């Protein structure tokens, strides 16, 4: 199963027909096919990496939260525990599975006043056989036929269950806030759930703190730490003070990346620069581009303020510019901007070609106000 395309209405503060497309739009060079794209069916290519960029409060997080919701429906067949309302959200999700393009449509409703989970209403599932000759009409609505659904499910469970059959991780969403002392338990749970060798954790730890030689879990809250040639038992609360925030977050995120690459599920990271040094981010992107490492077609999806990362992308159609007026909207760099491919994307960003620069006049007004405040 691979997510191809999402259209949403009434999701948070997004504009109508809020759209994200994973299928390549522009010309596919031999180099792109080797490093930038995955061929999931004959001449059907999706991205190894996808970026959302924009200034603060532009809607980058909203975009990846929408993807997280779609992946939850595709993987768990339900939506619960999300930090937003589901009321009247309309979703259209296109995905590829076993030789077919599927189109799933639904309208969501809050199950209760605190929006603890979503109820699925007016569900419709259609499909069509994928043919290379029709790749340019991939989303043509008239070619789809209804999938016959036999059986009943609870109202908080999607009918996608009848096609995808079992719960499976389709993506993991990593936000910019972290999990505090609980991070260490999550690290070892990830190792166990995705059958990752403990030796990999040692290699990951050494990237972030060369003074740590080993970390083993004794129980949910206690660990054996080998640190500066000394081995001691420490609690998770002690660890959170002993290790830097970057080390703690980085350990979990790199283990999740390893699981993603090994299992083939997608990894979504909000504000990737909050967790890693530039070199580590570049390394992550390169691993998803390397088919000898990314053998199972995982995709790295991230938001960033750090526009130099865009220069690591050979293509433009896997970059979305997020903006917000009254509503959040996305513009695909390839569709919305006439940028010559040989120009650095970061330079275009700094030149405000994408109209995402911080308002200089507002900065000067702030400076002026601070001067008045100091003299008063």
- Quick: pLDDT tens for 220-275: 999 999 988 899 999 999 999 998 888 898 899 999 999 999 999 999 999 988 76
Domains of the chain, earliest start first: 2-170+266-366 (3.40.50), 180-264 (no CATH)
Residue 172: band (very low, low, confident or very high) from pLDDT cuts 50, 70, 90: very high
Distance (Å, whole) CA 55 – CA 269: 17
Q: What is the mean pLDDT of residues 143-159?
A: 95
pLDDT in tens, 278-327: 888 899 999 999 999 999 999 999 998 887 888 889 899 999 999 988 89
CB-CB contact of 117 with 134 (8 Å): no
List, in sequence order, every residue forming a beta bridge with 359; answer none if it has no partner. none
Type and span of the H or E element at 30: helix 30-35
Distance (Å, whole) CA 2 – CA 97: 7
The answer, yes or no, to whether residue 178 has pLDDT greater than 80, is no
Kindly report whether the global pTM for this prediction surpasses the value 0.75.
yes
DSSP string, 304-324: ES-GGGGGG-S-STTEEEEEE
Backbone angles phi, psi at 229, to 5 degrees: 65, 20
- The number of residues in the chain equals 376
């Amino acid at each position: 199963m691979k997510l191809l395309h999402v259209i949403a209405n009434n999701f948070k503060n997004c504009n109508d027909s809020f759209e994200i497309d994973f299928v390549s739009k522009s010309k596919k060079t031999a180099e792109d096919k080797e490093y930038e794209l995955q061929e999931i069916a004959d001449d059907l290519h999706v991205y190894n990496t996808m970026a959302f960029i924009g200034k603060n409060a532009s809607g980058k997080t909203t975009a990846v939260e929408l993807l997280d919701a779609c992946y939850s429906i595709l993987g768990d067949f339900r939506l619960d525990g999300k930090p937003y309302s589901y009321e009247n959200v309309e979703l259209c999700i296109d995905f590829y599975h076993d030789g077919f393009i599927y189109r799933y449509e639904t309208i969501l409703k809050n199950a209760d006043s605190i929006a603890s989970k979503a109820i699925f209403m007016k569900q419709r599932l259609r499909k069509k056989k994928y043919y290379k000759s029709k790749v340019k009409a991939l989303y043509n609505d008239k070619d789809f036929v209804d999938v016959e659904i036999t059986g009943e499910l609870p109202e908080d469970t999607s009918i996608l269950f009848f096609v995808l059959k079992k719960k499976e991780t389709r993506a993991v969403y990593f936000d910019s806030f972290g999990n505090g002392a609980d991070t260490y338990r999550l690290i070892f749970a990830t190792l166990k759930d995705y059958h990752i060798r403990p030796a990999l954790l040692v290699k990951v730890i050494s990237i972030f703190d060369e003074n740590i030689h080993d970390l083993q879990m004794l129980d949910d809250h206690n660990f054996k730490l080998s640190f500066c040639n000394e081995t001691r038992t420490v609690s998770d609360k002690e660890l959170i003070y002993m290790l830097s925030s970057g080390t703690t977050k980085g350990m979990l995120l790199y283990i999740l990346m390893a699981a993603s690459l090994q299992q083939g599920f997608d990894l979504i990271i909000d504000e990737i620069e909050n967790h890693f040094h530039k070199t580590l981010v570049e390394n992550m992107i390169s691993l998803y581009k390397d088919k000898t490492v990314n053998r199972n077609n995982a995709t790295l999806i991230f938001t960033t303020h750090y526009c130099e990362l865009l220069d690591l992308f050979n293509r433009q159609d896997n970059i979305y510019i997020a903006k917000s007026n009254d509503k959040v909207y996305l513009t695909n760099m390839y569709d919305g901007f006439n940028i010559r491919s040989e120009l650095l994307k970061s330079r275009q960003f700094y030149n405000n070609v994408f109209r995402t620069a911080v308002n200089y006049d507002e900065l000067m007004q702030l400076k002026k106000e601070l001067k008045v405040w100091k003299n008063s």
